Amino acid sequence: MNAIATAAILAAQPEAVEAKLSDSERIDRLVEKGLAAHGLKANAPAGDEIFVRRIYLDLIGRTPTLAETVRFLESKDAEKRAKLIDALLESDGYVSNHFNYFADLLRAKTELNGNGQSAPAGLAYGAWIKESLRENKPYDVFVREMVTASGSSWDNGAVGYYIRDFGMPLDNLAITTQVFLGTQIVCAQCHNHPFDSWTQMDYYHLSAFTYGMMTSNISPNQRTAFASMEKRKKAVSKDQRQDIQRAFSEILKPVRFNNVFETERALRLPKDYKYDDARPKALVEPEAPFAPGAAVSEGENPIHAFAAWMTSPENPRFTKVIANRLWKKAFGVGLIEPVDDLRDDTEAVNPELMAFLEGRMIAYGYDVKRYLRTIYNTRAYQREASLGEAVLGDAYHFPGPVLRRMSAEQMWDSLVAMCKENTDAPDPEFVLETKRQLTEVELIAEAVYDQKPGPFLRNAYEVASIQKELANLLQGAQERLAAARDSKDPAALKAAQQESKELRRQLATRVEETVYREGLEEKIALVATNATDENGEALLNELASLVTRTDEGSREPSSGIDDMIGGRQGVVRPLVRALLADDEAKLRADALALAKRDRAAWAIDTKEERESYRIFEMIREKMKRASEMRSPAPNGHFLREFGQSDREVVENANDQASITQ
């Protein structure tokens, strides 16, 4: 063998060795290369007792139970770490923990717009995020589905992405670029960016892609009804039009904040635009700020071109941002900091490693679980934590993860795991509440949206009449409520609040009777027809009593339906409960079975023991994982005191100590 051939073989050996390495091992080589280049040493390997606690916290968001810890520590399996990682990635705890992560990132909360009317959409959005995590939806698909989401919350929970910024499309675009492209362009909404290359025109070009995604509380039949009124302007006074507008608002109130429409709405520059490249209020065409381009095909809505461009593997920022975010989630520090302020001159602390991670994310088809599995199986992750605090601006070369305080959710969920069995599973009561709220708004929407403009307008006139009838009573109640607040008399305040609430309930019930009745009679009859004594559900029997048996034995609606619709409770919520009777019955049966099992296991017999168990049950009922509660938690709750995000801005959780803690 000549010298040239020998040299060629020797030169090829490193590549051959590299090809046999796993992706985790290749990451370790790149980390160690970076450490060596800066004269640093890796931390010592973490023992099993450190690893098991860390991996539970990082992957499923809580500390392991005693049984889980002992089982892992006593295992002699040489592959036990890799197998535990696999098991945790496929667990319900993974969904719960990563929901908290993405909810903070996406500012997802139960009341998307800070009021109860947006709760159905908020619950649907949360359920959609969880289901996406459960099925391990590829990250690029996950993002595309959010950005192109249209329809109603009960059909497509992803519409919550736009409902979160209801009526604020330009602000939503700034959030989109920050979260998915790691780019802060919000300053350019009003003027050229003072510290980056973004111009106001760039901002508007990009916003033109998403501007057609419209959040609206106006139904199509309302638009048609208004058009009909406009044709009869002379016959309808200004006051009457205002009365009808208020009536429309009352009718549609229960289904507000639930719809996103894909429209062809065009964007114009602001009236105070001051730069030389265009005139104020000029139309703006959609245009991508950097390669690859985002050409809009003929007849295509720009939002689809935008979503394809943003999530493309060729987009220089999309893959980099999520690869870096998930690296930071594992190690506590990103290869690029901050993770959401990339600029043209931004460089990772280890460029070769960053490029490799981007390549793996693309090669994995944006499979987040596979990407996390690769990271958590590295020696770098499984080393002891660095005790020194990472300082923003100083390069960190990853001798191991950084030491971090547990998040509010990790602390709370660890406490919950000490109180309840099977704590990682979805909470059935929370799941039922989500289904209940979505069923309610869907029924109301079905009753309202399917009405033709003529009947819809007639119903609005009736509601306007009811509003006038109750207006003086409501005004008096509001005045008494204000006086009670001023007097600071608790009894008077409670009475005034109750009076105001009762009048609002009367108005809502009469709207149900006037507007929702016709659209729901068929469904009431159907549910009543299917009611059976075997079910044992009182509500089904109640609905069944509202229909009349014919001589042939079939059932048809009776006048009793009128009584129920006009009753104190209205028709919608009893119908919802009837439709979900099986779910509620199972929830009660499971709760009774658990109580029976507990009492037998703990030999609960005396009156005092039963009372103690009752109190324990009340406390245990409140102990649910953070992902299975309305979020964010209310002020004063443990979660909020220890740093849970208020979901007002992106990644707003904190791990700082405070006196109230």
Q: Per-residue confidence at 225, pLDDT binned at 50, 70, 90?
A: low
Strand order in 213-215's β-sheet? 151-152, 259-262, 213-215
- The SS3 call for residue 383 is strand
Start-to-end CA distance of the chain, whole Å, equals 74
For residue 233, the model assigns a pLDDT of 58
For residue 484, the model assigns a pLDDT of 82
Angle at 42 between CA 41 and CA 43, to 5 degrees: 120
Please say whether the beta carbons of 236 and 229 come within 8 A.
yes
For residue 535, the model assigns a pLDDT of 44
Q: What is the share, in percent, of the chain residues with pLDDT greater than 90?
A: 64
Q: What is the share, in percent, of the chain residues with pLDDT greater than 70?
A: 88
Q: Which two tokens stand for residue 139?
A: 């990250």
CA distance 475 to 466: 14
pLDDT greater than 80 at residue 12? no
**Mean pLDDT, residues 216-236 taken together:** 68
pLDDT greater than 90 at residue 443? yes
pLDDT greater than 50 at residue 13? no
pTM: 0.89
Highest-confidence range of 343-357, 541-555, 569-583, by mean pLDDT?
343-357
For residue 552, the model assigns a pLDDT of 42
pLDDT greater than 60 at residue 244? yes
In 3D space, the residue among 279, 308, 535, 386 whose CA is nearest the CA of residue 31 turns out to be 386
For residue 216, the model assigns a pLDDT of 87
Residue-wise pLDDT for 246-256, tens only, equals 888 888 888 99
Q: Per-residue confidence at 298, pLDDT binned at 50, 70, 90?
A: confident
Burial of 510 (0-12, 13-18, 19+ CB in 10 A): buried
pLDDT greater than 90 at residue 478? no
536 or 92, greater pLDDT: 92
Q: Per-residue confidence at 567, pLDDT binned at 50, 70, 90?
A: very low
198 or 9, greater pLDDT: 198
Residue partners of 102: CB distance under 8 A and separation at least 6: 108, 129, 133
Residue-wise pLDDT for 103-144, tens only, equals 999 999 999 986 788 999 999 999 999 999 999 999 999 999
